[in-house]
Amino acid sequence: MRNAQEFDVEIYRGYAIHVPYSPFKIGDEVALHAFPDGGIVVNALGTIVETGSFKQMRLRHPRARIIDRTGCYLIPGFVDCHVHYPQVYMIACYGEQLLDWLNLYTFPEEARYKDPLYAKQAAKVFFDELIKCGTTTANVFGSQFILAMEEAFLEAERRRIRVIMGLNLSDRNIPEALRLTPEKAYTLSRTLAKKWHKRGKALYAVTPRFAPVCTPEMLRVCGKLLAESPDYRLHTHANENSGEVEWMKTKELFPKQSYMEVYRRFGLTGPRSLFAHSIYATPQEVALMARTGCRVAHCTSSNFFLGSGHFPMRRYVEAGIPFGIGTDIAGGTGLSMLKELERAYGCQMILHASDPKLAYRLSGTKLLYLATQAGAETLGLGDVAGSFLSGRAADITVLNPARETYLPERMRNCSTPAEELFVLCIAGASHLVQEVYTGGQIAYRAK
Ligand SMILES: [Zn+2]
């Protein structure tokens, strides 16, 4: 039986700031919820009760224990919509675009995860690094090896990180060591999903790497798996890099249909499906994605690093396609969502200068929204995580500007919360993360 103590509440005191609704739809001013001396009330089950000014929250919950973080910003834990666990040890591999980069660096590295000890150690480092960057929910691209996946699910669970994850599937145009037959892909995916889907905070994602390394039979198996549960997810790549898009059109692959049409044909498009990148989707493909409810992860630093291109953000907003931000290591150059926001801003500025119809000048409100609530909605978790609204998990990232020498003074030069938030998103970095709470429990504390 639970004792009364467990039902006592806590108030996290600090500069509480969150963006629970889309500023793209309702405008920045209404979307931004900022409480300079704020209080986030959390119950003993780790769920947010309410959020407001500290004074008001204190009056309403006079017996609550106070977790005082005055001087710090309290933001919802970041939601990373696309990131590769078995690439944590290959960040910063030099000089190639996507296809050569995969062949030269990525495939040999991913083959090393056959060794469960290597995988175990990497999983530990990967999730340590993720939480250290303030990320509490992640859509993780998995390994091809079932034991490596077991290690990853375990490490995520240990840190109470909400993950969507699955076995990485491919059966052609990839080294033998990374291939699974469609039959094997089916049975191993089912085994993993049975054990991990909805265990704690984990959800299972059917994960074909991308269409060029999957035979039609493999894509058919993916469609079959996806149809077996109403809430499995689908996680893959599409329209990332011009070389890849050209390759898709060649005779050996799928010459007569668009990239997205291939996925649709195998039952892989829909509201549970996330396609990383989508830089080169044609207007017809964007329409297909909107019609079927597909989701997208925008990964700026990866798009820059691999020379892939600029994400036409406005096209996706106008089509009503949900999208969030992904760090996409090791195309991306680190696990920090703050760094990713700075890049996303720059990417949109460059694009805006040449074609304002494709891009936004992203405010701090829009940036924080993209890194939190938009990500949660993109992953079908909008009522579970991403904001400080009542009923959400108390996933709280504590940012302390004093961990950077110039930042406290820079903040004092701001005159509105929106301005402060912009500075935080652009000048912030993972070393500002002082603490991270998942479900109201401490998951990381900086030294
Ligand atoms: Zn990726």
pLDDT of 8 = 83
pLDDT (tens digit per residue) in 274-332: 999 999 999 999 999 999 999 999 999 999 999 999 999 999 999 999 999 999 999 99
Q: What is the distance in A from the centroid of ligand 1 to the CA of 228?
A: 25
State the amino acid at position 443 in one-letter form: A
Average pLDDT value for residue range 201-219: 98
Q: What is the distance in A from the centroid of ligand 1 to the CA of 211?
A: 13
Do 255 and 275 touch, CB atoms closer than 8 A?
no
Q: What is the distance in A from the centroid of ligand 1 to the CA of 87?
A: 10
pLDDT (tens digit per residue) in 385-402: 999 999 999 999 999 999
Q: Which residues contact 416 (CB under 8 A, 6 or more apart)?
A: none
Q: What's the gap between Cα 52 and its chain centre?
A: 27
Q: What is the distance in A from the centroid of ligand 1 to the CA of 209?
A: 8
Instruction: Give the 3-state secondary structure of residue 257.
Output: coil
pLDDT (tens digit per residue) in 336-357: 999 999 999 999 999 999 999 9
- Where is 52: in which H helix or E strand? strand 48-53
Q: What is the distance in A from the centroid of ligand 1 to the CA of 284?
A: 23
Q: What is the distance in A from the centroid of ligand 1 to the CA of 188?
A: 22
* Rounded-to-integer distance, Cα 244 and Cα 92, Å: 20
Q: What is the distance in A from the centroid of ligand 1 to the CA of 148?
A: 18
Q: What is the distance in A from the centroid of ligand 1 to the CA of 240?
A: 9
Instruction: Give the 3-state secondary structure of residue 215.
Output: coil
Q: What is the distance in A from the centroid of ligand 1 to the CA of 391?
A: 31
Do 65 and 6 touch, CB atoms closer than 8 A?
no
Q: What's the gap between Cα 199 and its chain centre?
A: 20
Average pLDDT value for residue range 147-162: 98
**Average per-residue pLDDT for the chain:** 96
State the amino acid at position 123 in one-letter form: A
pLDDT (tens digit per residue) in 20-52: 999 999 999 999 999 999 999 999 999 999 999
Tell me the CB-side half-sphere exposure of residue 6, using CA atoms within 13 A: 4
User: The tokens 């406005």 sit on which residue?
Assistant: 314
Q: What is the distance in A from the centroid of ligand 1 to the CA of 237?
A: 6
Q: What is the distance in A from the centroid of ligand 1 to the CA of 84?
A: 6
Q: What is the distance in A from the centroid of ligand 1 to the CA of 377?
A: 19
- For the chain, the first-to-last Cα distance in angstroms comes to 36
Q: What is the distance in A from the centroid of ligand 1 to the CA of 114?
A: 20
pLDDT of 7 = 54
Q: What is the distance in A from the centroid of ligand 1 to the CA of 327?
A: 9
Q: What is the distance in A from the centroid of ligand 1 to the CA of 298?
A: 10
SS (H, E, C) 166-197: ECEECCCCCCHHHCCCHHHHHHHHHHHHHHHC
* Confidence class for position 2, pLDDT limits 50, 70, 90: very low
pLDDT of 338 = 98
Helices and strands in the chain, H and E counts: 19, 16
Domains and CATH numbers, the chain: 9-76+387-445 (2.30.40.10), 78-335 (3.20.20.140)
Give which of 40, 34, 35 is closest to 13, Cα–Cα. 40
Give the sign of the dihedral formed by CA 205, CA 96, CA 322, CA 157: positive
Structure tokens at 250: 């060649």
Average pLDDT value for residue range 414-437: 97
